[in-house]
Amino acid sequence: MTRRTLVLGGARSGKSAHAEGLVTDDVVTYVATARRYPDDVDWSLRIAQHVARRPTTWHTVEAPAPGDLVALLTATAESDPPILVDDLATWLAGALDDAGAWEGHGIAEVEQRCRQLVDAVSQTRARLVLVSAEVGLGVVPGTHSGRLFRDHLGSLNARLAEVCDEVLLVVAGIPLRLREAGGTR
C-alpha cells in the first residue's frame, strides 16, 4: 500500500492538480502551507484558484508556520482521512523567513525544521501526499537568496524522497514515476 507520496514539479507543471487526483476519498485534510499577503492580489488569486478546485468535502488546514505542519503530521492516526500538503516550497520559504536566513542568520534553525519535517513525514500513519517544487533543473540563480532557497529545497526534497513510498515528477501535466510503491529506496 502506498502510504506516502511525494509529487514534484516545476511552476505550472500540474503537480498540485495531479496530487489532488491521487486522493480519491470524500474527506481529505488539505494542508495549505502558503502565507497570505493581503497586499499581494496575484498571490490571493492563486490561493483562490486552488480553493475553488477542491471538493467541498475536503477540510482545509492553514499551516503557514513550519511547526504547524510538523505538529499536524506527528499527531496523525492510521484511521485519519488522507492528508494532502501543498506545498513544501512555501513551507520552506516560511521557515527561511522565520529564521532570518535570507539575511544569513538561522541556517541551523532551518536545518532543524527540515529534519523535524522529514521525521514527521516518516512517522505519519495516515495516507499522505506531499507536493513540492522541483527547482534544481534550471539555471543557477543569480542571487544569494535564490541559491539558498534552491539548495535547501533540493536537499529537503531528496530527504523526503527517501522516506516516501512513491515519488512522482510532473512535467507538462504528465506524471513520471521515479519510484513506485514497494520499489527500492
Catalytic machinery residues: 50
Task: Report DSSP state, residue 100.
Answer: T
Residue 33 and residue 156 in contact, taking contact as beta carbons nearer than 8 Å = no
The strands making up 4-9's β-sheet, listed across from edge to edge, are 59-62, 29-32, 83-86, 128-133, 4-9, 166-171, 174-179
Residue 96 and residue 51 in contact, taking contact as beta carbons nearer than 8 Å = no
Q: DSSP labels for 151-184? A: HHHHHHHHHHHHH-SEEEEEETTEEEEEE-TT--
